[in-house]
Amino acid sequence: MKNKNMKYIFPLVLSMFASGMQAREVTSFNADWKFKKGPFPEQPVQLLSSWDQKWTDVSLPHTWNNVDMMTRHNNFYAGDAYYQKEFTVPADIKDKRLFVRFEGVGQVADVYVNDQLVGNHKGAYSAFAIDITDAVKPGETNRMMVKADNSARVDVIPINHSLFGVYGGIYRPVWMVETGKINISVTDHASPGVYIRQQVNGKKADINIGVKVDNKYDTTQQVEVVASVYAQDGKLVTQKSTQAQLLPQGTKREEINLEIKNPHLWNGRKDPYLYKVVTQIKQNGNLLDELVQPLGVRTVELKAGDGVYLNGNKYPMYGVTRHQDRWGAGSALLNEHHDEDLAMIMDIGATTIRLAHYQQSDYFYSKCDSLGLLVWAEIPFVNKVSTQESENAMQQMRELIRQSFNHPSIYIWGLHNEVYHPHNYTAQLTASLHDLAKTEDPDRYTVAVNGYGHMNHPVNRNADVQGMNRYFGWYERNIGDMKPWIEKLETEYPDNLFMLTEYGADANIDHQTEYVGEAIGDWNAKFFPEAFQTKMHEQQWGIISKHPYIIASYLWNMFYFAVPMWSRGGVPARNLKGLVTIDRKRKKDAYYWYKANWSEEPVVYITQRRLTDREQQKTSVTVYSNVGQPTIYLNGKELQGVRKGATDVHYIVDNVQLQKGMNEVKAVAGNGNNVTEDKINWTFTSEKPRGEAAKALEKVHAGF
């Protein structure tokens, strides 16, 4: 396959595709596109080139909502737009097949080649692949046209933009895939066409490799299917082959069973060891196709009232959630954006991620494989039911599982999040999604999420795990009410697998005050002080960490993200519950709270460092330290009366008297050569009455 773009071969472990000799060629198809945004009058695509609107040169990934969906309250473009690209196909393409694979188009895509419709896809977050062999003209210039439309539709999930915006555009990479006429399937719901299952029994692992093979010749073909497992040092661990007879129609699945003796286990963050599975199709000794996939040998077991067990050992589930969008890029992310997010997730000490509320980049799942993070992957069946989305929900569930089947990091499939009325319809659809997931993948768990907190809610318990989102102290009741709620569930439903799947509070990092409520915040206010969010996370993680009935918990959210239908906390179109701002530049106090509790890296951190102009002369000092009790100084004098707070890393000194003018606060912990310290400066001039800071900051428009 030749075109204007450089050839790009994916990394062997981190990618769905790999090229073996000349058997399969995967080429970047992301440069030299032209774009124009609608709305457009209804007319045949053949007339598009004559339209008066100017085309703009773009490269992929690209979205047209990277500004309006992130900055404007209920004022963004959701509709149709077009992309086109010219490319050439060599004249000697005989006996080859040509596919185009889109990683993500928001959210309905129609694809044309030379004005001929070659495919359609409904769903913004899953990949899709189209065979364009018969539509291209070898030796000539061809034109691809893509119509993308991110309008909300009742038959495509998510059916609205309410909890997050569905960005329009070809916002993930596109690849051209060239194979021979006999190939590992590319169009099996855009899956790799290879499915790896495993069963670990003591000192051996039984590995089953399922391979889907296509034959586009007019006659029956005899081929050899070879599966090989390689260690990280490149040594062959085991290999086996089988002979296959391929009829000249349909796709055939071949099975190969292998055994790994004394396997090196994939053991989470401590040791995310990955084997490499190489699957080859050969004929008369010639390589026809080859694919490389990761293999992490591991077992995951969930025990009610106890926790998660990885390879038979209880595993700490320190969970965060992640939306993919960020400032300036929207959803059109580069690999370095994913890497930056993961670096912070690893830094905070997280061991598990809920990737909400939709299928995310295959690159991100692959990086989680290599970093040892346990992943919850889900479909965007969220927020509201139309009763017309069942077919698309089932489609997206199947795509998510098949495309992500071989990632060892994924341990659970998410079926829905906070969808309710009509209850009977929703319950039946959830049960169908569960059945589909178990049919496609019998070895992983399923989970569905409710926001009401009642185990006997009519849509509940149609999945392996019941998740609940609870925002005590923010949307409901008081911060401390989490404790009796959990204890009631422990008593009444001891045998249910249960996860706390979202908790948190909004906070604008530019809104600072010492005056925060002891029990409840106000999500309807324009003033979202960081100190309240900090207090909420301190108290609630203290509760969560003492209740193993919660087998996993996921704080909401790791990062700010766009919510174009919201205008809260002084910032339009933004969910402010993240621990890190949407530009990834600033980390809140709560970030360091979790890092101190979860990370093995030494942490000593003084909170409220952004409130430099103090409101009260008599105040408190809070320090997070995971290297022992800190010695805390004010203006060089050691403070007495240090007490512990919600967990063993939480230290507080009450009734600290500031001097007028500049004050230096210092905390030191550790011993010998392993001393960690933190230092901040506070200024006190005069007492500021309650509410003054809030009134002053209500008018602040914080860009991030």
3-state secondary structure of 55: coil
Output b/e per residue, 453-480; b: 16+ Cβ within 10 A: bebebebbbbbbbbbbbbbbbbeebebb
HEC per residue, 653-667? EEEEECCCEEEEEEE
Tell me how far apart the alpha carbons of residues 9 and 502 are, in angstroms, rounded to a whole number: 38
Which residues touch 538 (CB under 8 Å, ≥6 apart)? Answer: 593, 645, 646, 650
Residues 317/430, Cβ–Cβ less than 8 Å: no
Which residue pairs, CB below 8 angstroms and at least 24 apart, start in 201-207? Answer: 203/261, 203/262, 204/259, 204/260, 204/261, 204/262, 204/263, 205/259, 205/260, 205/263, 205/297, 206/257, 206/258, 206/259, 207/238, 207/257, 207/258, 207/259, 207/260, 207/277, 207/295, 207/297
The reply to whether 418 belongs to the active site is: yes
Instruction: To the nearest 10°, report the CA torsion of 581, 587, 588, 590.
Output: 110
- Phi, psi (rounded to 5 degrees) for 544: -60, -45
> Considering only CA atoms, which of 689, 666, 691, 688 is closest in space to residue 677?
666
Residues 106/63, Cβ–Cβ less than 8 Å: yes
Active-site choice (290, 418, 502, 538) = 418
Which residues touch 641 (CB under 8 Å, ≥6 apart)? Answer: 653, 654, 655
Residues 573/70, Cβ–Cβ less than 8 Å: yes
Residues 278/292, Cβ–Cβ less than 8 Å: yes
Tell me how far apart the alpha carbons of residues 518 and 536 are, in angstroms, rounded to a whole number: 9
Which helix (H) or strand (E) segment holds residue 341: the answer is helix 335-348
Tell me how far apart the alpha carbons of residues 609 and 595 are, in angstroms, rounded to a whole number: 17
Instruction: To the nearest 10°, report the CA torsion of 319, 350, 207, 251.
Output: 60
> Considering only CA atoms, which of 369, 470, 382, 469 is closest in space to residue 433?
382
3-state secondary structure of 564: strand
- Phi, psi (rounded to 5 degrees) for 540: -75, -35
Tell me how far apart the alpha carbons of residues 62 and 334 are, in angstroms, rounded to a whole number: 10
Tell me how far apart the alpha carbons of residues 32 and 98 are, in angstroms, rounded to a whole number: 19
496, two tokens = 């249910």
C-alpha atoms less than 13 angstroms from C-alpha of 174 in its C-beta half-sphere:
25
3-state secondary structure of 491: helix
User: What secondary structure does DSSP assign to 501-522, as a single string?
Assistant: EE------TT---S---SS---
Distance, C-alpha 464 to centroid of its chain = 21
3-state secondary structure of 623: strand
Count, residues in the chain:
704
Tell me how far apart the alpha carbons of residues 343 and 325 are, in angstroms, rounded to a whole number: 16
User: What secondary structure does DSSP assign to 22-42, as a single string?
Assistant: TSEEEEE--SSEEEEE----S
- Residue 598, Cβ neighbours under 10 Å: how many? 22
Catalytic site positions: 418
